[in-house]
Copies of this chain bind each other. A is one copy, B any other.
Protein backbone atom coordinates (compact mmCIF):
# COMPACT_ATOMS: atom_id res chain seq x y z
CA UNK A 1 0.00 0.00 0.00
CA UNK A 2 1.06 3.52 -0.76
CA UNK A 3 2.74 5.20 2.17
CA UNK A 4 2.37 8.95 2.31
CA UNK A 5 4.79 10.78 4.51
CA UNK A 6 2.31 12.95 6.27
CA UNK A 7 3.53 15.74 8.45
CA UNK A 8 0.96 16.74 11.03
CA UNK A 9 -2.03 18.63 9.67
CA UNK A 10 -1.59 17.33 6.14
CA UNK A 11 -2.93 14.07 7.45
CA UNK A 12 -6.53 15.14 7.22
CA UNK A 13 -6.35 16.28 3.65
CA UNK A 14 -4.77 12.99 2.73
CA UNK A 15 -7.42 10.97 4.54
CA UNK A 16 -10.12 13.06 2.96
CA UNK A 17 -8.72 12.49 -0.55
CA UNK A 18 -8.36 8.78 0.05
CA UNK A 19 -11.92 8.54 1.28
CA UNK A 20 -13.19 10.50 -1.72
CA UNK A 21 -11.44 8.17 -4.13
CA UNK A 22 -12.21 4.96 -2.24
CA UNK A 23 -15.89 5.81 -2.12
CA UNK A 24 -15.97 6.25 -5.85
CA UNK A 25 -14.05 3.03 -6.33
CA UNK A 26 -16.39 1.01 -4.11
CA UNK A 27 -19.34 2.39 -5.99
CA UNK A 28 -18.00 1.68 -9.46
CA UNK A 29 -16.27 -1.60 -8.75
CA UNK A 30 -19.47 -2.83 -7.14
CA UNK A 31 -21.67 -1.76 -10.00
CA UNK A 32 -19.56 -2.76 -12.96
CA UNK A 33 -16.84 -5.01 -11.63
CA UNK A 34 -13.16 -4.40 -11.24
CA UNK A 35 -12.02 -4.98 -14.80
CA UNK A 36 -14.89 -3.15 -16.43
CA UNK A 37 -14.16 -0.04 -14.40
CA UNK A 38 -11.43 2.24 -15.68
CA UNK A 39 -9.24 4.37 -13.49
CA UNK A 40 -10.46 7.35 -15.47
CA UNK A 41 -14.05 6.58 -14.53
CA UNK A 42 -13.13 6.44 -10.86
CA UNK A 43 -11.28 9.72 -11.20
CA UNK A 44 -14.32 11.31 -12.83
CA UNK A 45 -16.68 9.96 -10.18
CA UNK A 46 -14.36 11.20 -7.44
CA UNK A 47 -13.97 14.57 -9.10
CA UNK A 48 -10.20 14.36 -9.41
CA UNK A 49 -7.79 13.77 -12.25
CA UNK A 50 -6.64 10.30 -13.19
CA UNK A 51 -3.07 11.20 -12.38
CA UNK A 52 -3.88 12.19 -8.83
CA UNK A 53 -5.10 8.73 -7.96
CA UNK A 54 -1.55 7.52 -8.32
CA UNK A 55 -0.41 9.83 -5.57
CA UNK A 56 -2.73 8.16 -3.10
CA UNK A 57 -2.70 4.58 -4.36
CA UNK A 58 0.04 2.41 -5.82
CA UNK A 59 -2.02 1.14 -8.69
CA UNK A 60 -5.47 -0.03 -9.63
CA UNK A 61 -5.08 -3.19 -7.60
CA UNK A 62 -4.31 -1.21 -4.51
CA UNK A 63 -7.52 0.67 -5.11
CA UNK A 64 -9.44 -2.59 -5.24
CA UNK A 65 -7.90 -3.80 -2.03
CA UNK A 66 -8.80 -0.64 -0.19
CA UNK A 67 -12.30 -0.71 -1.63
CA UNK A 68 -12.95 -4.23 -0.42
CA UNK A 69 -11.47 -3.55 3.01
CA UNK A 70 -13.64 -0.47 3.27
CA UNK A 71 -16.74 -2.59 2.82
CA UNK A 72 -15.61 -5.22 5.30
CA UNK A 73 -14.85 -2.54 7.83
CA UNK A 74 -18.37 -1.31 7.66
CA UNK A 75 -19.51 -4.77 8.79
CA UNK A 76 -17.09 -4.84 11.68
CA UNK A 77 -18.29 -1.44 12.76
CA UNK A 78 -22.00 -1.62 12.29
CA UNK A 79 -22.78 -4.98 13.87
CA UNK A 80 -21.38 -4.30 17.33
CA UNK A 81 -23.16 -0.96 17.22
CA UNK A 82 -26.45 -2.69 16.60
CA UNK A 83 -26.18 -4.95 19.62
CA UNK A 84 -24.85 -2.34 21.95
CA UNK A 85 -26.67 -2.47 25.25
CA UNK A 86 -28.26 -5.84 24.66
CA UNK A 87 -27.23 -8.02 27.58
CA UNK A 88 -29.14 -11.21 26.93
CA UNK A 89 -26.93 -13.48 24.82
CA UNK A 90 -29.80 -14.91 22.78
CA UNK A 91 -31.24 -11.49 22.07
CA UNK A 92 -27.79 -10.26 21.18
CA UNK A 93 -27.35 -13.11 18.75
CA UNK A 94 -30.64 -12.43 17.08
CA UNK A 95 -30.00 -8.72 16.89
CA UNK A 96 -26.56 -9.30 15.39
CA UNK A 97 -28.05 -11.56 12.77
CA UNK A 98 -30.71 -9.01 11.94
CA UNK A 99 -28.10 -6.29 11.74
CA UNK A 100 -25.89 -8.32 9.44
CA UNK A 101 -28.74 -8.97 7.07
CA UNK A 102 -29.64 -5.30 7.06
CA UNK A 103 -26.09 -4.21 6.27
CA UNK A 104 -25.95 -6.71 3.42
CA UNK A 105 -29.28 -5.46 2.16
CA UNK A 106 -28.16 -1.85 2.14
CA UNK A 107 -24.84 -2.64 0.46
CA UNK A 108 -25.71 -5.50 -1.83
CA UNK A 109 -23.43 -4.63 -4.71
CA UNK A 110 -20.54 -3.97 -2.36
CA UNK A 111 -21.07 -7.30 -0.66
CA UNK A 112 -20.82 -9.10 -3.96
CA UNK A 113 -17.65 -7.19 -4.80
CA UNK A 114 -15.55 -9.26 -2.39
CA UNK A 115 -16.85 -12.48 -3.92
CA UNK A 116 -16.20 -11.35 -7.46
CA UNK A 117 -12.92 -9.64 -7.15
CA UNK A 118 -10.88 -10.91 -4.25
CA UNK A 119 -9.30 -13.55 -6.42
CA UNK A 120 -7.97 -10.85 -8.73
CA UNK A 121 -5.59 -9.77 -6.02
CA UNK A 122 -2.16 -11.21 -5.18
CA UNK A 123 -2.02 -13.64 -2.27
CA UNK A 124 -0.67 -11.09 0.15
CA UNK A 125 -3.56 -8.74 -0.40
CA UNK A 126 -6.05 -11.56 -0.33
CA UNK A 127 -4.80 -12.37 3.14
CA UNK A 128 -5.59 -8.89 4.35
CA UNK A 129 -9.14 -9.37 3.18
CA UNK A 130 -9.43 -12.78 4.78
CA UNK A 131 -8.30 -11.34 8.07
CA UNK A 132 -10.82 -8.55 7.91
CA UNK A 133 -13.46 -11.16 7.26
CA UNK A 134 -12.27 -13.30 10.13
CA UNK A 135 -12.52 -10.31 12.39
CA UNK A 136 -16.19 -9.83 11.69
CA UNK A 137 -16.78 -13.53 11.99
CA UNK A 138 -15.10 -13.60 15.34
CA UNK A 139 -17.55 -11.03 16.61
CA UNK A 140 -20.49 -13.16 15.54
CA UNK A 141 -18.74 -16.26 16.81
CA UNK A 142 -18.42 -14.62 20.21
CA UNK A 143 -22.16 -14.06 20.42
CA UNK A 144 -22.79 -17.70 19.58
CA UNK A 145 -20.24 -18.89 22.10
CA UNK A 146 -21.99 -16.86 24.77
CA UNK A 147 -25.23 -18.67 23.99
CA UNK A 148 -23.50 -22.03 24.13
CA UNK A 149 -21.87 -21.19 27.45
CA UNK A 150 -25.24 -20.08 28.78
CA UNK A 151 -26.63 -23.49 27.81
CA UNK A 152 -29.03 -21.93 25.30
CA UNK A 153 -27.37 -23.36 22.20
CA UNK A 154 -26.22 -26.90 21.59
CA UNK A 155 -22.50 -27.39 21.74
CA UNK A 156 -22.03 -26.82 18.00
CA UNK A 157 -18.82 -25.80 16.30
CA UNK A 158 -19.32 -22.07 16.64
CA UNK A 159 -17.06 -21.27 13.74
CA UNK A 160 -19.06 -23.40 11.35
CA UNK A 161 -22.26 -22.00 12.77
CA UNK A 162 -20.91 -18.51 12.17
CA UNK A 163 -20.30 -19.33 8.54
CA UNK A 164 -23.84 -20.55 8.30
CA UNK A 165 -25.17 -17.27 9.57
CA UNK A 166 -22.80 -15.21 7.47
CA UNK A 167 -23.50 -17.14 4.29
CA UNK A 168 -27.21 -16.85 4.93
CA UNK A 169 -26.85 -13.10 5.17
CA UNK A 170 -24.59 -12.90 2.12
CA UNK A 171 -27.00 -15.07 0.15
CA UNK A 172 -29.46 -12.21 0.36
CA UNK A 173 -27.08 -10.31 -1.90
CA UNK A 174 -25.65 -13.19 -3.90
CA UNK A 175 -29.01 -14.73 -4.75
CA UNK A 176 -31.15 -11.64 -4.51
CA UNK A 177 -32.58 -12.12 -7.99
CA UNK A 178 -33.92 -15.48 -6.78
CA UNK A 179 -35.01 -14.62 -3.26
CA UNK A 180 -36.42 -11.13 -3.62
CA UNK A 181 -39.44 -12.16 -5.68
CA UNK A 182 -40.48 -14.54 -2.89
CA UNK A 183 -39.78 -12.64 0.31
CA UNK A 184 -38.93 -9.22 1.64
CA UNK A 185 -35.95 -8.71 3.88
CA UNK A 186 -37.88 -9.21 7.12
CA UNK A 187 -39.45 -12.40 5.88
CA UNK A 188 -36.01 -13.62 4.91
CA UNK A 189 -34.60 -12.75 8.31
CA UNK A 190 -37.45 -14.48 10.12
CA UNK A 191 -37.09 -17.62 8.05
CA UNK A 192 -33.43 -17.60 8.88
CA UNK A 193 -33.97 -17.14 12.56
CA UNK A 194 -36.55 -19.90 12.62
CA UNK A 195 -34.09 -22.16 10.90
CA UNK A 196 -31.08 -21.36 13.01
CA UNK A 197 -32.93 -21.46 16.30
CA UNK A 198 -34.39 -24.86 15.50
CA UNK A 199 -30.92 -26.01 14.56
CA UNK A 200 -29.16 -24.74 17.63
CA UNK A 201 -31.45 -24.14 20.61
CA UNK A 202 -31.38 -26.54 23.54
CA UNK A 203 -34.42 -27.30 25.69
CA UNK A 204 -33.22 -24.56 28.00
CA UNK A 205 -32.82 -22.34 25.03
CA UNK A 206 -36.42 -22.88 23.98
CA UNK A 207 -37.69 -22.09 27.47
CA UNK A 208 -35.54 -18.96 27.54
CA UNK A 209 -36.94 -17.92 24.19
CA UNK A 210 -40.54 -18.44 25.28
CA UNK A 211 -40.11 -16.54 28.52
CA UNK A 212 -38.57 -13.83 26.46
CA UNK A 213 -41.62 -13.63 24.30
CA UNK A 214 -44.00 -13.80 27.22
CA UNK A 215 -42.41 -10.82 28.86
Contact = CB atoms under 8 A, between A and B. Distances in A.
Q: Is the interface of A mostly helix, strand, loop or mixed?
A: helix
Interface in A29-43: 33-36
B178 A171 contact: no
Nearest to A195: B199
Interface residues of A, number: 40
Interface stretch (A85-93, A98-106, A153-161): A153-161
Contacts of A183: 160
A171 to B, nearest CB: 5
Can you tell how many copies of this chain the complex includes? 4
A116 interface: yes
A167 B165 CA distance: 11
Contact of A157 (B112, B134, B191): B191
Given A116-B119, A171-B167, A174-B115, A156 B195 contact: yes
A54 interface: no
A201 to B, nearest CB: 9
16 contacts: A34-B35, A116-B117, A116-B119, A130-B177, A130-B178, A134-B178, A154-B198, A156-B191, A156-B194, A156-B195, A160-B182, A163-B179, A164-B195, A167-B175, A198-B200, A199-B199
Interface of A: 33-36, 112, 115-117, 119-120, 130, 133-134, 154, 156-157, 159-161, 163-164, 167-168, 170-171, 174-175, 177-179, 182-183, 188, 191, 194-196, 198-200
Given A33-B120, A115-B174, A130-B178, 12 more contacts: A34-B35, A35-B120, A112-B119, A116-B119, A130-B177, A157-B182, A160-B179, A161-B195, A163-B171, A164-B168, A167-B175, A198-B199
